[in-house]
Structure 1
Amino acid sequence: MKFLPIKSREPQSEFFGKRGISWHITVVSDNNTFDTDSDVSDSSQEVNDHEMTDLLKKTKMMGVSNETETKNFRYKVFVHVFDQCSQDSETIGTILNDILCRVKETDPQIKSAFIRSDNVDCYHSANTLVSAKQISEKTGIAIRRIDFCDPQDDKGPCDRYAAVIKSNIRRYLNENHNITSASEFVEACHSHKGVKGVLALGCQIANNAQKKDIKCKIKQITDYFNFEYLINGLLVHRSWNVGSGLLIPWLQLNCNRSIFNLISRGIEGFVHEWVQTNEHSANQNVD
Structure 2
Amino acid sequence: MIASLNQHLKFDIKGHLSTHSSCVSHCTTFSLSDPKCETFRSKCDHEHASGCEECEIVDKTLCEVAREFDECTIKECIPKDTMEEIDFEINQSKLNILSWKAHCVRTVHQDQAKKNVLEDLQPNQALVVMDWAMKFLPIKHRESQSDFFGKKGISWHLSSVITRAAYPAIDQENHLAVNTFVHILQLGNQGWFSVAHIITDLLNQMPSFAPNVSEIILKSDNAGCYHCSSLVSYLQHLNQLSRIKILEYNFSEPQSGKDICDAKTAHCKMHILRFSGEGHDVLTPDDMVIALNSNGGVKGVVTSVVSIDQSQEMRMKTKIPNISLMNNISFHPDGVTFRKAYGIGRGYFLPSSHFKDNEQILGFEVHTQFHRTDSYIPGSVKHEQDKTEADEEINKEEEIDGTKSGLFACPEQGCMKVYRKQCLLECHICVGNHLYCNTENTLDKVKHLWAEKCIAVEKNFKVLVKGTLGVAENIPEGWALKTAKAQKRFSAKVKEFLYSMYLDFERTGRRPNFDKISANLKYLRNDNGLKHFNREEWLSSSQIKSLLIL
TM bin (shorter chain): 0.7 to 0.9
Give the Cα separation in 2 of the matches to 1:101 and 1:5: 30
Name stretches of at least 5 consecutive residues in structure 1 with no aligned partner.
34-68
Partner of 1:57: none
Task: Name which of 348, 360, 373 aligns with 1:258.
Answer: 360
**2:329–2:337 contact (8 Å) kept in structure 1:** yes
Partner of 2:269: 166
Q: What's the offset of the Cα at 1:70? A: 4.7
Change (3 A) 1:257 1:273: farther
Q: Secondary structure at the match of 1:138?
A: coil
Q: Which residue of 2 aligns with 1:61?
A: none
Aligned counterpart, 1:136? 239
Matched AA of 1:125? C
Supply the distance in 1 between the matched residues of 2:271 and 2:296 (Cα, whole angstroms): 10
Relative to 1, partners in 2 of residues 1:237 and 1:197: Cα closer, same or farther, differing over 3 Å? same
Q: Which amino acid aligns with 1:119?
A: N
SS at match of 1:116: strand
State whether structure 2 residue 303 is matched by structure 1 residue 189: no
Q: CA deviation at 1:105?
A: 4.1
In structure 2, the partner of 1:53 is: none
Q: In the aligned structure 2, how far is the partner of 1:140 from the partner of 1:175?
A: 43
2:115 aligned partner: none
Question: Which deviates further from its counterpart, 268-277 or 118-127?
Answer: 268-277
CA distance in 2, matches of 1:123, 1:146: 10
Instruction: Quote the offset at 1:113 in angstroms.
Output: 0.7
Identify the range of structure 1 (158-167 vs 268-277) with the bigger mean alpha-carbon deviation. 268-277
* CA 154–100 in structure 1, closer or farther in 2 if over 3 Å, else same: closer
Task: Decide which structure has the larger Cα Rg and report it.
Answer: 2
1:202 aligns to 2:305 (yes or no)? yes
Deviation sequence 1:119-138 (CA, Å, 0-9, x none):
11111111111211233333
**Unaligned stretches of 5+ residues in structure 2:** 1-132, 167-171, 391-419, 422-550
Distance 1:103 1:154, change over 3 A: closer
Deviation at 1:193, TM superposition (A): 1.0
Equivalent pair of 1:104/1:139 in contact (CA under 8 Å): no
Alignment-mate amino acid for residue 136 of structure 1: N
Residue range with higher mean Cα deviation, 277-286 or 98-107: 277-286
What is the number of residues matched between the two proteins? 251
| Structure 2 CA distance for partners of 1:132 and 1:20, relative to 1, 3 Å | same
What is the rounded CA distance, in whole Å, between the counterparts of 2:239 and 2:282 in structure 1? 35
So what's the TM-score if we normalise by structure 1?
Answer: 0.79
Q: Which amino acid aligns with 2:247?
A: R
Inter-CA distance 220–247: structure 2 relative to 1 (3 Å threshold) = same
Secondary structure (helix, strand or coil) at the match of 1:280 reads: coil
- Does residue 238 (structure 1) correspond to residue 343 (structure 2)? The answer is no
CA distance in 2, matches of 1:155, 1:267: 23
Contact 2:328 2:341 in 1 (8 A): yes
Are the aligned partners of 1:104 and 1:141 in contact in 2 as well (CA < 8 Å)? no
Following superposition of structure 1 onto structure 2, how do residues 214-229 of structure 1 map, counting pairs within 5 Å? Answer: 214-229=316-331
Do the aligned residues in 2 keep the contact of 1:71 with 1:279 (CA within 8 Å)?
Answer: yes
Paired letter, 2:272: I
> More strand per residue: 1 or 2?
1
Instruction: Tell me which moved more, 261-270 or 4-13.
Output: 261-270
More helix by share: 2
Shift in Å at residue 268 of structure 1? 6.3
Amino acid in the other structure paired with 1:31? R
SS of residue in 1 equivalent to 2:383: strand
SS at match of 2:338: strand
* Alignment partner, residue 535 of structure 2: none
Give, in angstroms, the shift of residue 161 of structure 1: 0.5
Which of 383, 390, 394 is matched with 1:279 structurally?
383
Structure 2 length as normaliser, TM-score?
0.43
Conservation of the 8 A alpha-carbon contact between 1:130 and 1:257: no
In structure 1, distance between residues paired with 2:269 and 2:145: 22
CA RMSD of aligned residues (A): 2.4
Instruction: Note the C-alpha offset of 1:6.
Output: 1.7
